């Protein structure tokens, strides 16, 4: 069971991860993108539904579901694969996803601030031994050069504006 970090603090997970062959519980559930597409009656259920998307996935498949899911979990296969960051930014900025955006998989605590800047609201931390490091990672970096999904400007934008 993973631990969730939100705004630098540990939070309880109200969503149940459900395998493709398992029945859905009477609670908010997260299913694979393949299952959500194969069983369209799942989307929009009263208890809430979320989907898991691989960082390498084609975003076009998720677009019809975005308005009817409460959470999108982006699974990072490797910490050095930046496609999940791009996916998060696209979901927030281009496609207007307003629900919970969770990062899961192989991530490093040093990536936490950048995940937040890309629009992620939660990070699933698999190892409780790293929990203190993850919790302290929020706010570790105070200067950013790249643009953000947050309502702020990076130094790169400030420099361009001043010149």
pLDDT of residue 129: 61
How many whole angstroms separate alpha carbon 1 and alpha carbon 57?
24
| Number of domains observed in the structure of the chain | 1
Question: What CATH number did the domain enclosing 103 receive?
Answer: 3.20.20
Q: Is the pLDDT of residue 142 over 60?
A: no
Q: Is the pLDDT of residue 41 over 90?
A: no
Question: Across the chain, what does the average pLDDT equal?
Answer: 81
Q: What range defines the domain where residue 33 resides? A: 3-162
Q: Which of 108, 100, 102, 103 is nearest to 127 (CA)?
A: 108
């Amino acid at each position: 069971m993973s631990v969730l970090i939100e705004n630098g603090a540990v939070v309880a997970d109200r969503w149940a991860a459900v395998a493709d062959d398992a029945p859905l519980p009477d609670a908010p559930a997260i299913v694979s993108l393949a299952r959500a597409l194969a069983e369209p009656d799942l989307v929009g259920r009263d208890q809430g539904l979320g989907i898991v998307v691989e960082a390498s996935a084609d975003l076009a498949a998720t677009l019809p579901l975005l308005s009817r899911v409460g959470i999108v979990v982006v699974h990072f296969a490797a910490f050095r694969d930046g496609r999940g960051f791009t996916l998060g930014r696209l979901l927030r900025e281009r496609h207007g996803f307003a629900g919970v955006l969770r990062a899961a998989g192989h991530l490093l605590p040093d990536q936490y601030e950048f995940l937040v800047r890309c629009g992620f609201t939660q990070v699933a931390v698999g190892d409780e031994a790293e929990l203190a490091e993850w919790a302290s990672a929020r706010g570790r970096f105070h200067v950013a050069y790249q643009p953000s999904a947050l309502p702020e400007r990076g130094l790169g934008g400030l420099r361009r504006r001043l010149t």
